[in-house]
Copies of this chain bind each other. A is one copy, B any other.
Amino acid sequence: MPATHTPVSHSFHVLSQNDLLATLPADELERLHHHLELVPLPLGEVIYESGGKLSHLYFPTTAIISLLYVTEDGASAEISIVGNEGIIGVAVFMGGDTMPNMAVVQSAGYAYRLKAQLLQQEFNNSLPMRHLLLRYTQALLTQMAQTAVCNRHHSIEQQLCRWLLLSFDRLPSDELIMTQELISNMLGVRREGITDAARKLQSAGLIEYHRGHITLLDRQGLEDNVCECYSVVKKEYDRLLPDRIAT
């Protein structure tokens, strides 16, 4: 696990590693960036619990976070994935403060964080900020909706493809540190189901995996195997959150 707990310096340059921050107007970012704190997020860290209040919101840069719901009998299901395109903690500006799911770090990395109260002020006072966050929330809404559809109608193999593509889209590299056991928790299926599906994908030369390391070999191949859910979600993100304004 590369994440250390030593403080890390940052600049406008690395701020732009999070798409939402990168899209903000310069004066807005100027106002915020002294309050932004770059923090390492180790694998498995819980950012918020079900029903737990958030002290900070997180803008991931290299980390990936999963929103998970855990049922009473211990089963789990991933509701959505959030990476450097988004933000963790929409409940703060939506006004509900908490949500009945939890946020867990799925892939270690970094995120900028901002005090909840501060972001709420910005949300109320700045129109560009509000528009940006609401459009992001709508994209999140679509991701959740499509997760429901996918859970209903598509095979484990298709869902695995979707999950891998969504994850690799949010990663700076082609390697993902993730055991089949963990993936099965995310998708809410058996570990053996993931083993089967992953083996097929490996035989087909689309990915390579080895004891918790998954390497992307053929993105197009995955896209050929995935269900429509992936592109529906991706198109919605692209439409609602067009490319960052400045580099």
Q: A residues near B, CB below 8 A?
A: 67, 69, 71-72, 75, 77, 79-80, 90-91, 93-96, 99-101, 131, 134-135, 137-142, 144-149, 151-153, 188, 228, 232, 235-236, 239-240
Contacts and interface: CB of A to CB of B under 8 A. Distances in A.
A145 B101 contact: yes
Nearest to A147: B148
Contacts of A96: 135, 138-139, 236, 239-240
B239 A149 contact: no
Contacts of A137: 94, 137, 141
Contact of A148 (B72, B77, B91, B236): B77
Q: Is the interface of A mostly helix, strand, loop or mixed?
A: helix
Contacts of A135: 94-96
B71 A138 contact: no
Contacts of A148: 69, 77, 79, 144, 147-148, 151
Given A69-B146, A95-B138, 17 more contacts: A69-B149, A71-B153, A75-B152, A79-B145, A79-B148, A93-B134, A96-B135, A96-B236, A99-B138, A99-B142, A100-B142, A100-B146, A137-B137, A147-B148, A151-B152, A152-B188, A153-B188
Contacts of A90: 138, 141
**Nearest 5 Cβ contacts at the A-B interface:** A148-B148, A94-B138, A151-B151, A96-B138, A147-B148
Contacts of A149: 69, 71, 77, 79, 188
Contacts of A147: 148
A139 to B, nearest CB: 8
